[in-house]
Structure 1
């Protein structure tokens, strides 16, 4: 796929603290790329450098092989900190945002009305922003970020504060944009949504890359299998089972975290007959569990290694 955004060897320091340490990744046309990490890891600093809100100490950010900087009219941005002029009417603020991107206002108005209908805001175009609920305001700001048909869309916590129905609407629209060729860089702490939507991911911790690759590659590299057993068993007995790294137990539910490269069908044949199994499930650990492990520096997963894109 065609590369739309390249971040190369990005470094940024604040006084004596190095916030970014040689960060490199790309975002490709038509893909949803996740940038992940715990609070303070460097995600927002990276995004602000891409947007030109601040400038890196070292490194380069290029758009579509354009060495002359990033053309702002081709980028859409939904910031984590929402901010719309509260006493301005919805249509006026949308047209204002489109005008900032040099987008034709007649076309912007037509598209705005279509999006307001799609996002269940039909008839709200002449309502002041301050009269909208928080969720409605977020929908308006999302519309403002995509109204000018950006080639690159940066979404920082787009699902925060949305009810499940609104989340589905956002997910559907984000997928549609990607299918139509928009390159999307998405930051979110909702790992289930990231796992559901994203093609590739870049995880950052302490200002440096820890994971980079497709979701399948990351799961293969870092997400060992786990076996969940429902039944009353002594944890000491479960820990004796070959190829079990560790066991977590809550009442009668035991989770056995297995060694890397085990073959589940072979491993399950060797379970001792003495254990009680009312229900059993084997699957790979989730992206949420990978995130928690890295964010808390537990190092319970496979150390070192990288899933390459």
Structure 2
């Protein structure tokens, strides 16, 4: 288990991190989110012992965190592969660092490349690969050696939906193997898909910290999606409907000013129409919550 207790970090007069607290257990995924400059990369660098916190504790299984004693996989936002080296030469180097026999690594590397659909050969140089394939090799280098702690800084950056799904599956696989996983991303959908917990930072301050379920339940169900409504005029009498958007699939998305309003709309529709195939009242999306907390406009 990784635990951060009352972590603070300043650079000159700038507060980078203020009183940060969280813990991630084996087999859990923490999504660390926030705008650029919020403190995500600083947090990663302190965990990795690249820089020291001014105060507070970083613990592993309730003992002082010692990087050399823990198997760590780190995928930086600025990818760190040697462009003029071949895939196999780089992986041999990483295998030596992790104490894995090269022959075993070569077998597992081929399996990884097949599973992720990497277009390339072991003797190809990184610079000859497409951006997506190079990112897959970076991911393999991070995860091949089954680290106990996995830190992924913007791992989905630049990936198309197909390759992003490959990555999501591998993160889930690492979770099932019991790794402690932290990743940052600007894609809230990916957070919603795989994160067990969220920490949101704003100018170094923690503005959200908890499970996704707990965070959602702090808000009302103000989003309403309707499909198959025969008479849309039924909605015109409700002043509490703040916004109506027609979606490309023909459904309507409504923003309500109160959760109770959804009950009134439902009763009216049932009384006048008798049946509606889609009536979905939900909490704000994580993207909406993020914008609320950071002050961004929807």
| Alignment-derived partner of residue 159 in structure 1 | 156
| Alignment-derived partner of residue 83 in structure 2 | 86
* Counterpart among 2, 14, 17 of residue 11 in structure 2: 14
| Alignment-derived partner of residue 283 in structure 1 | 282
| Alignment-derived partner of residue 238 in structure 2 | 238
Are the aligned partners of 2:5 and 2:22 in contact in 1 as well (CA < 8 Å)? yes
TM-aligned CA deviation for residue 81 of structure 1: 1.0
Q: Which runs of 5+ in 1 are unaligned?
A: 301-309
Distance 2:19 2:104 in 1: 41
Are the aligned partners of 1:223 and 1:286 in contact in 2 as well (CA < 8 Å)? no
Are the aligned partners of 1:157 and 1:189 in contact in 2 as well (CA < 8 Å)? yes
| Alignment-derived partner of residue 62 in structure 2 | 65
Q: Does 1:121 align with 2:88?
A: no
| CA gap 1:109/1:206 in 2 versus in 1, 3 angstroms | same
| Alignment-derived partner of residue 256 in structure 1 | 255
TM-aligned CA deviation for residue 168 of structure 1: 1.5
TM-aligned CA deviation for residue 173 of structure 1: 1.3
Are the aligned partners of 1:73 and 1:101 in contact in 2 as well (CA < 8 Å)? no
Are the aligned partners of 1:7 and 1:23 in contact in 2 as well (CA < 8 Å)? yes
Structure 2 counterparts to residues 134-153 of structure 1, below 5 A: 134-153=131-150
TM-score, normalised via structure 1 length: 0.82
Are the aligned partners of 1:61 and 1:69 in contact in 2 as well (CA < 8 Å)? no
- Let me know the Cα RMSD of the aligned residues: 3.0
TM-aligned CA deviation for residue 237 of structure 1: 5.1
Distance 2:51 2:236 in 1: 54
Q: Does 1:55 align with 2:56?
A: no
Alignment coverage as a number of residue pairs: 288
Distance 2:114 2:69 in 1: 27
TM-aligned CA deviation for residue 259 of structure 1: 3.4
| CA gap 1:236/1:45 in 2 versus in 1, 3 angstroms | farther
TM-aligned CA deviation for residue 295 of structure 1: 1.7
| Alignment-derived partner of residue 111 in structure 1 | 108
DSSP-derived class of the 2:63 partner: coil
TM-score, normalised via structure 2 length: 0.85
| Alignment-derived partner of residue 35 in structure 1 | 32
1:172-197 per-position Cα deviation (integer Å, ceiling 9, x unaligned): 11111101111111111111111011
1:230-267 per-position Cα deviation (integer Å, ceiling 9, x unaligned): 7766999533x4xx7xx13457956223436x495467
| CA gap 1:233/1:295 in 2 versus in 1, 3 angstroms | farther
Distance 2:100 2:290 in 1: 39
Are the aligned partners of 2:46 and 2:53 in contact in 1 as well (CA < 8 Å)? yes
| CA gap 1:50/1:123 in 2 versus in 1, 3 angstroms | same
* Counterpart among 201, 206, 215 of residue 203 in structure 2: 206
Distance 1:119 1:30 in 2: 22
TM-aligned CA deviation for residue 110 of structure 1: 2.4
Are the aligned partners of 2:2 and 2:60 in contact in 1 as well (CA < 8 Å)? yes
